[in-house]
Amino acid sequence: MYVFAFYNLKGGVGKTTTAVNITHVASLMGTRSLIWDLDPQGASTFYFGRKAKVKGGVERLMTRDNALQKAIKGTDYPNLDLLPADFSYRHFDDVLEEFKSTKQLGKMSKTLKKDYDVMFLDCPPSLSHLSENVMRAADVLIMPMLPTTLSLRTYEQVSEFLQDVKKPPLLLPFFSMVDRRKSMHRDVVNGFPKEHPNALSTIVPYSSILEKMGLTRAPVTATAPKSTISVAYHSLWQDIQDAFARHKRK
Amino acid sequence: MLKEYQIDAETFKTLETRKPGKARLHVTGALALTQISVLDSIDGRALGAGLILLWQPTIGRAGQFCVRKTKTGERLVVLPLKTPPQTLGDLPATLLGGALHDALDGRALICLHHLKVQLKTMNLVVKNQTIADAVCALEGDGKRAWMWVDPRKGFENAASSALKPIGNAKAKMPAFSGVLDHASKAAQLNSKGFPTLTASQPAAQAIQLLHETLLAQMTSQVDGTCKDLDIEFLHDLRVASRRARSLLQTVKTVLSEEAQAYGIERYRWLGQETTALRDLDVYLYDYPALQEALSPEMRIALEPFRLLLETERKRAFSRVKTVLKSRAFSQFAQSWGDKLAADESYQGKDAGQPIGAIAAKAIWKRYGRICADGQAITDDTPAEALHDLRKQGKKLRYLLEFFASLYPAAQIKPRIGSLKKLQDLLGAYQDCAVQAAFLEDKAAKLRKDVSVPAETLMAMGALADQRLQDEKRLRRDFQAFFKPFASAPERAGYKGMLNL
């Protein structure tokens, strides 16, 4: 089982929408996929039509045997299960702190390796003990970015942070919510890959369909499978897999 | 885990109006008459790996490919596809972490069993949340109906209690087990399994069972061979046919002379008609390995040889298809089956003897002959003697497999093992000689074509030379492989097993 984390320490960059749609695209290909909504806001859980509730909260989840398996909920999509968010996840750092290790999340996710091919982590926007655990557990860190100066700055911060991580994951930044009418967006999107060859070539455009996800409570790749944005997510997943395959060959 | 509910035909018809408890059954699709198919390699490799592959049509022209665990029925993966997958190329390589590809090992997928049903697909909805998927089927005869329910993870208990008004799920799952049994039997038939015999059984009865199994194994490959789905169909057809001929030649005193002669002649005819295609299949299958054996610059030069193989294969396939669809072939299958069923075919002098004695005699005779022939082989003996020894070895191998059920596994397995080692060497030796001759023959053909570059002929020459070198090396190894097979302990092993 491989672990793919959607992470950016900046909020509102499209982490959850990307996580939800990419997980759905992977499941369509017959990949047994699990998405763990680590954000106490529970947006991924909401989009998949499930309740943001884990019996016993984060403490029980992290300390009891099989608690992770028992918390998993099926979704309306074949090959796609969800580990829902819970409001108690706001104390995730405190619980992880007690283990005095940054490997705990990775250890726990390994207990699910028989049942899933891929685990996706939808991470909250922060640089915390949980983020450190995510970086140790993940094979790939997918980083959605807005094509703005501030967003680029966060990329540098994350990149620097990863230099201190033992066995860091493969960092794959890409641009999301791109509006080609804006010259700044165009300039950043064209310039960034020249200095960062690890950037994914797929660009996810801004789309009003994404805003409707809150109403339909479903991935756009399911409700509007032929839309431009769905095509972009399919292409993004292919890009991610190709980049990871190249990385593994090295 | 899969839950199976037995329902009656009336319940099947009114399912959409059912509201068990607080739940609602929401019909997502209904098909008047369709079939659920079990797909697998011809010899049931997925079943062997504990997986059952099901194809179920859905509304429109598409369908659903589903992999379940055979033990529990648990649904592992579901894939919407437009048509049933026929090869592994039709499925993602990463499916089940590559486990399915590993199990099938490149084999084509065929339908091992199908069930004609009226079908309804449904969702079990509680408080606007879908908590389970269900497939309800009314079997073709209209007598039996059942419902397979896959509760979504985390909703297992909720689904069970919601469906209580429909009934209780059956622990044994008769419909699922039935589908599994039929598919397993078909796979077993294809996987060269033989009936279990007892030593005291009359020889006529045992030989009849073996021949009928071989005939069924052979005819079950005809459709796949004609459709050219996988080269293994023809291979298995030829193996069944060769085994039957071998049985006729090694156990001669049970069938009547007339039946014996008819079977040998017809099986030989079938073997001759299909050899060319099998050879070409093997060369094309091994082509990447042949290329690998050459230097990188010579590899491209080999392309005209591949094209020649492709052209000749087309012709050979067309010939085999004609033969298998011919009246001569269908008459053979029909009348051989009739002969096997008729009492007058079993007029050999040993027809009434117990099969244990007949089998022991045939095995011991064949083993003794191989030992004698092998000991006579020296460094100067012509290659034909080794080829003949290989044929004898094959006959012994078949005898050991036909009658394996008569002997304890602990005794027969080591015998098959030691014979296999010798046969592998003799097989490789034979292949080298045949391949070298084949390459030279095809090179002679290509030489007449002015458009074929000299590099091609050089590459083929290099390959033929490699084969001849290998042949010499294997010849030197012969004694080292033969001695353990003909040794005193091995001889004692045969005697002990056969109670001689």
* Opening angle at CA A221, ends A216 and A224, nearest 5: 65
Residue of B nearest to A113 (CA): B97
Q: pLDDT tens digit string along B213-234?
A: 899 889 888 988 998 877 888 9
Q: How far apart are CA B279 and CA B274, in angstroms?
A: 9
Those residues of chain B whose CB sits closer than 8 Å to some CB in chain A are 76-80, 91-92, 94-97, 129-130, 151-155
Best of B121, B153, B156 to disrupt the A interface (most A CBs within 10 Å) is: B153
Number of H helices, E strands in chain A: 13, 7
Q: Quick one: pLDDT at residue A212?
A: 86
Q: Which residues of chain A have pLDDT under 70?
A: none
Burial class (CB in 10 A: 0-12, 13-18, 19+), A135: buried
Site of tokens 């015998």: B415
d(CA B234, CA B166): 48
The residue-averaged pLDDT of B309-338 equals: 96
Residue corresponding to tokens 């208990």: B157
Highest mean pLDDT among A60-64, B14-18, B196-200, B432-436: B196-200
Neighbours of B473 (CB within 10 A): 12
Mean pLDDT calculated for residue range B319-346 = 95
- The mean pLDDT of chain B is 88
Task: Please tell me if residue A74 touches chain B, with a CB cutoff of 8 Å.
Answer: yes
Q: Tell me whether residues A30 and B79 touch, CB distance under 8 A.
A: yes
CA A128 from chain centre, in angstroms, equals 16
Please tell me the pTM assigned to this model.
Answer: 0.68
Choose the weakest-confidence range: B109-118, B242-251, B321-330.
Answer: B109-118
Number of Cβ within a 10 Å radius of residue B145: 23
* Count of pairs with CB atoms under 8 A, one residue in A, one in B: 44
- The reported pLDDT for the residue numbered B190 is 60
Q: Judge whether A72 is closer than 8 Å to chain B, CB to CB.
A: yes
pLDDT over 90 for what percent of chain B?
45
User: In angstroms, what separates the C-alpha of B72 from chain A's closest C-alpha?
Assistant: 15
Contacts of residues B222-227 at CB distance under 8 Å and 24 or more positions apart, as own/partner, are: B222/B324, B224/B42, B224/B108, B224/B110, B225/B320, B225/B321, B225/B324, B226/B321, B226/B324, B226/B325
pLDDT at B21: 66
Residue-level pLDDT at B60:
66
What would the pLDDT profile of B185-194 be if each residue is shown by its tens digit? 877 766 667 8
Query: Does ipTM come in above 0.95?
Result: no
Interface test with B, best of A1, A53, A76 (most B CBs within 10 A): A76
A246 Cα to chain B: minimum distance (Å): 16
Q: Residue A177: name the closest of A1, A25, A18 by CA.
A: A18
For range B138-150, the mean pLDDT: 83
Which helix (H) or strand (E) element contains residue B272? Answer: helix B257-292
Measured between CB atoms, which of A30, A75, A78 is closest to B92? A30
A55 touches chain B (CB under 8 A): no
Strands (E) located in B127-237: 129-139, 145-151
A78·B77 Cβ contact <8 A: yes
CA distance B121 to chain A (A): 14
Look-up of token digits 């199976």: B4
Concatenated DSSP letters of A94-105: HHHHHHT-S-HH
CB atoms within 10 A of CB B350: 20
What's residue A162's pLDDT? 86
pLDDT of B74 > 70? The answer is: yes
Residue numbers of A between 101 and 120 with CB closer than 8 Å to B: 117
| Distance set, CA A138 to CA A33, A122, B98, B378 (Å) | 15, 11, 21, 64
Task: State whether B153 and A78 contact (CB < 8 Å).
Answer: no
> Can you give the pLDDT at residue A109?
85
Residue of A nearest to B153 (CA): A74
> What confidence tier does B61 reach under pLDDT thresholds 50, 70, 90?
low
Residues of B in contact with A26 (CB under 8 A): none
Nearest CB partner across the interface for B77, out of A1, A73, A79: A79
Contact B96 A117 (CB under 8 A): yes
